[in-house]
Amino acid sequence: MLRSSPGQPDLTGLRVDAASGRLLGARQVESPNCDDRPPGLVPELIVVHGISLPPGEFGGPWIDALFTNSLPADAHPYFAGIAALRVSAHLLVRRDGAPVQYVPFTRRAWHAGQSRWRGRENCNDYSIGIELEGTDSGGYERAQYATLARTIAELCRAYATLTEQQVVGHSDVAPGRKSDPGIAFDWPLLRTLVRYDLEVAA
């Protein structure tokens, strides 16, 4: 399995604390771009995104900066058009599989924008947003699939309202407006790994 391949991240300490909404084992960077979920709403959907800043480039501080409202507009031509955005995600998975958390899972992150899933509007209200560092067509790393799968399995264990079937792409909730995580994303592989993680802990 991918879990034992050389270079894979150590996922043994990755756990979701349901009460605090924290992913234990993730680097924590607090984003101001969040608020409370509407009364009575809990996580019922996981939305997978893709992101790179600048587009097609990986590493660096720019995603942290975007989600904390500190992206310098003059650091790259692309940044001028997005520096004023107020956006976030619950989690980012870096190219090496390292997870970074910006918003507790118990709160509403501003990740999906105008969105709908199975007739329900405003997916931010009832979803968890997970960004993968990558591009639509360039593919994602084995380590990212491993971390994403383990995180999804842990979320399903922590929140009874989530199952492995409630995982979609940004393109699924905002068709025509968003295309991520893109054509290169391997959904069969992710679902296989999530089932494996759930069975191991059963």
Whether omega for the bond prior to residue 99 falls within 30 degrees of 0, making it cis, is no
DSSP string, 48-72: EEEE-SSTT---SSHHHHHHTT---
**C-alpha span between 100 and 47 (Å, rounded):** 16
Signed CA dihedral, 129, 32, 100, 37: sign only: negative
Q: Where are the alpha helices (DSSP H) in the chain?
A: 62-67, 142-158, 170-173, 187-201
131 is catalytic: yes
**C-alpha span between 52 and 134 (Å, rounded):** 6
**C-alpha span between 48 and 45 (Å, rounded):** 10
Please state whether 11 falls in left (phi above 0), alpha (psi between -120 and 50) or beta. Answer: alpha
Residues in contact with 186: Cβ distance below 8 Å, sequence separation at least 6, in sequence order: 140, 145
Catalytic residue (choose from 121, 131, 164, 199): 131
Query: Residue 166 corresponds to which amino acid?
Result: Q
**Residues labelled as active-site residues:** 131
